[in-house]
């Protein structure tokens, strides 16, 4: 499902081929800069190549994983720690897209999600009126994560 350069680079002495989506973010303003960069991408399938402002690390997988780890921490704090925030419903499109990219590109899973939210996200039989949940689903579907889960027949606990 990921195209372009391999996600995991084993030997940095070898020439690394393949397209990437280059994303430059600020650790001190991570969610805002990540949202600006991710929303400007037209194709979410190429491997993300992350560069943090004022840092010289070349992304062979480490900065990308660090980006997802840090971003998920901030997403949890802002959008989930005090319950879903209906006033920020539009932001949950970006949240869903970040979840999808992290899952797709070997980042961490959003393991902080409450079981009820997971159920609403992935169970086609569960009807939700939450615009936040609907927007997460739309964001995740940007890379077809929900379709893959359905095709694999993954069932979630009731």
Is the Cβ–Cβ distance between 16 and 9 less than 8 Å?
A: yes
Burial of 56 (0-12, 13-18, 19+ CB in 10 A): exposed
When pLDDT is averaged across residues 13-37 and rounded to a whole number, the result is: 88
Model pLDDT for residues 44-68, shown as the tens digit of each residue: 889 899 999 998 877 777 889 999 9
Cα–Cα separations (whole angstroms), residue 61 to 10, 23, 24, 66, 147: 9, 13, 15, 9, 26
Rounded to two decimals, the pTM is: 0.84
Domains of the chain (ranges; CATH) run 20-152 (3.90.1750.10)
**CA 45 centroid distance within chain:** 12
Identify the three-state secondary structure at position 52: strand
Inter-residue contact 121 to 137 (CB < 8 Å): yes
pLDDT tens readout for residues 65-88: 999 999 999 999 999 999 999 999
The backbone torsions φ and ψ at residue 106, rounded to the nearest 5 degrees and listed phi first, read: 60, 30
Flag the least confident range among 12-16, 17-21, 89-93, 116-120.
Answer: 12-16
Rounded distance between C-alpha atoms, residue 44 and residue 21, angstroms: 8
């Amino acid at each position: 499902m990921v195209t372009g350069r391999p996600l995991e680079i084993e030997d940095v002495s070898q020439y690394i081929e393949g397209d990437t989506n280059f994303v430059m973010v600020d650790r001190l303003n991570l969610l805002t800069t990540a949202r600006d960069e991710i929303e400007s991408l037209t194709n979410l399938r190429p491997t993300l190549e992350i560069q943090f402002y004022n840092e010289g690390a070349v992304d062979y997988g480490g900065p990308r994983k660090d980006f997802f780890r840090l971003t998920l921490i901030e997403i949890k704090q802002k959008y989930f720690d005090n319950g879903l925030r209906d006033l920020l419903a539009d932001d949950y499109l970006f949240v869903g897209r970040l979840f999808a990219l992290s899952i797709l590109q070997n980042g961490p899973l959003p393991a902080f999600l409450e079981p009820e939210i997971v159920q609403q996200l992935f169970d086609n039989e569960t009807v939700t009126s939450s615009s936040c949940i609907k927007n997460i689903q739309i964001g995740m579907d940007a890379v077809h994560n929900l379709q893959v889960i359905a095709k694999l027949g993954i069932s979630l606990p009731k």
